[in-house]
Amino acid sequence: MSSTIEDQEVRFAKRLREERERAKISQLDLAMKAKLSQNMVNFIETGKRKPNLHTILKLSVALNISPAVLFDDPIEEREEAKKTVLSIISRYF
């Protein structure tokens, strides 16, 4: 799958929000854990700011995840792909 840098930035922001919500914490809680301002977390999640490597590492440590998770395909895309594969397999078995 080919994507532009802008697509990847949007995906990163979306994944950060998904992971924060999965952890059931607010932007303020994440900001405090990562030693960032709540505004910074909000700006990153909404794509108004682009985090540097240090900030990405702080966020991933605060969420207790690998930084790579924030660059993975969105969860719903993986689930949709899984459903498609299972549907195809079920036709043959």
For 47, the token pair is 């794509």
Query: Is the pLDDT reported for residue 64 higher than 50?
Result: yes
Kindly tell me if the per-residue pLDDT of 91 is higher than 90. no
Cα–Cα distance for residue pair 23/17, rounded to 1 Å: 10
Q: What backbone torsions phi and psi does residue 35 show, to the nearest 5 degrees?
A: 60, 50
Domain ranges for the chain: 5-92
d(C-alpha 81, C-alpha 59), whole Å: 28
Supply the pLDDT for residue 75: 61
Decide yes or no: CATH 1.10.260.40 for domain 5-92.
yes
Q: For the whole model, what pTM was predicted?
A: 0.76
